[in-house]
Amino acid sequence: MDNTIKKLVVLLVPMIVDCLDNGLARTPPMGWMQWERFRCLTDCEAYPDECISDKLFRTMADYMVSDGYLEAGYEYIMIDDCWTSKERDNNGRLLPDPDRFPYGIKNLSDYIHSKGLKFGIYADYGTETCAGYPGSIDHLKTDADTFAEWEVDYLKFDGCNSDWIFIDKGYIEMGKYLNATNRPIVYSCSWPAYQEPNNMESNYSALAETCNLWRNWDDIDDSWKSVTGILDWFSGNQDRIAPFSGPGHWNDPDMLIIGNYGLSYEQSKAQMAIWCIMAAPLIMSVDLRTIEPKFKNILLNKDAIAINQDPLGIMGRLILKKDKMDIWTKPLKPKEDGRKLFAIAIMSHRVDGYPYRFNFTLGELNITDSNQFHIKNIFESTSSVIVNDKELIFTRIKPTGGALFVVTQQK
């Protein structure tokens, strides 16, 4: 995209598509998942407090409640890969590793539900999971029924070790089995993440009819390079994928890595800002026991979360590139008196060692429906101005940092 302004009209009048209507995920799901932070750490002798185990998930559930994450909207605790035994039982059912999950999955599910949280689990459509545990390809109905018996609320269904060309058929079949259980299970699919990197455009109409959310692109890693690489793909494909994102069905750029090792404080604000603008699922993957307060405050920022959870569910888009800055915008649900609301996110690609004094006008972003607008800087709550659509707005963006604003039309 060059420096010309992208018209905002496509945001304001999103395409209507047929979509899954199971009543779930009406706003982007929010929760915690182990993968990016703890990966497939299974050595509980050497790492008793970090290994993928019953203890880890109960502990994180406790922190989700005590530290305000549940109150802020993060309601799912989700197990990723590496939880099963290496073999199924004699009836073909998945079994948890008996040493790491000695009380069984239903017992863990009950504990998580007792905390007011919801419970998610992982499976894989292929012959094996990505980490080499039993896959679901010949056991779709059995696994769907098992997850329902365990009172699972969310299934992440991966696609390693499968035929990516025809992977959509398996996801559609699994979706039917999940629906047949009559258990309300949010269905997170991954088939675009296997087709799109192989130069095959996924069928987003079928995705929206089958899944509540879907991973579009590569796994996120704990680095700024990974975050910007994912966003390059999303912005480059936004016109193709944005119409299929909305209440009940979401594009998913993968987990929030805020509070780990790879992102600075400023980069963490940028990831939060763009994920909220894109109406992306907010799935944390961080050690909640040791996260620094400044990163925790980003994850718990109520104004940022409100932008992400806006009931219109419109996926924001990259509108302008200027001075090595990306500006994304997103229309929000109007106020009760009819005044329009917008969100603006800025992400810096500058690596200079000082805060850059960046200016823009609302007119550049095609926000022009009023004589005056109130602009609030979300991460600097004392910073707000009232301007018209032609006045320059100045903000200082630190190297590889970000900012997030709410724009309110004034009468």
In the residue annotation, 219 being an active-site residue is answered as: yes
| CA 353 – CA 351 distance, rounded (Å) | 6
The one-letter amino acid at 45? E
Query: Choosing from 81, 97, 158, 326, which is the catalytic residue?
Result: 158
171-177-182 Cα angle (round to 5): 130
> In DSSP terms, which residues pair with 246 in a beta bridge?
249
Tokens of 59: 């502990």
| CA 85 – CA 328 distance, rounded (Å) | 44
In the residue annotation, 389 being an active-site residue is answered as: no
Q: According to DSSP H, which parts of 278-325 are helical?
A: 293-299, 302-308
Tokens of 212: 């509540």
Tokens of 360: 């823009």
Q: Count other Cβ atoms within 10 Å, centred on residue 89.
A: 9
- Among residues 317, 283, 109, the alpha carbon closest in space to that of 213 is found at 283
Phi, then psi, of 265 in degrees rounded to 5: -60, -45
Query: Choosing from 67, 219, 303, 323, which is the catalytic residue?
Result: 219
DSSP sequence for 78-113? E--SS-B-SS--TTS---B-TTTSTT-HHHHHHHHH
The one-letter amino acid at 318? L
Q: Cβ neighbours of residue 89 under 8 Å, at least 6 residues apart?
A: 95
DSSP sequence for 191-205? HHHHHGGGT----HH
Q: Which residue numbers are catalytic?
A: 158, 219
